[in-house]
Structures are given as C-alpha cells and as structure tokens.
Amino acid sequence: MGVLMLRCPMTDRGFATGVNIDEATFRRMPDTISMARCPYCGHEHPWRPNDARLLEAIPQNVDHPPKVAN
C-alpha cells in the first residue's frame, strides 16, 4: 500500500493527496480528472493518474506544509 503524491504547479513542491492505494489498483485507475487541495498554496489542483506518483511511504525528510486558511 502506498500514497499518491502530486506536485503543486504554483510552488513546485510535492504533496501527499491522502489517497492510500496499492500499485495494482493505481495502474487500473481510469484516466479521469480528480481534485486535490494543496497544503502549500491552498488551491485545489486538478490531476489525472499520470500526474501522480505512488510512493510506499512519505519521505521523513519532507518539511511539513504551512497551515493554509480555507
């Protein structure tokens, strides 16, 4: 089981989507647009499966994003 990661187009920083998924299911995801709120800029970004990376774990050396007001 891993977590889907995206890159913010505004800050160029990677962030976790909060979606936990296994590799087989990730490979079968339909090519549809989903939305994910970025913890760095506060905006919702559209993404498709080919925009995401599947990581087994979030790297420990990643800094924590700032809190963004909604």
Contacts 24+ apart (CB under 8 A), 28-35: none
CB 42 within 8 A of CB 69: yes
State residue 62's pLDDT score: 54
pLDDT of residue 56: 85
5 close to 14: Cβ distance less than 8 angstroms: yes
**pLDDT digit string (tens) for 19-59?**
999 999 999 999 999 999 999 999 999 999 999 999 986 65
Q: How confident is the model at residue 8 (pLDDT cuts 50, 70, 90)?
A: very high
- Separation of alpha carbons 65 and 67, rounded Å: 6
- Closest by Cα among 52, 68, 65 to 20: 52
Residue with the bigger pLDDT between 44 and 1: it is: 44
Whether pLDDT at 12 is above 80: yes
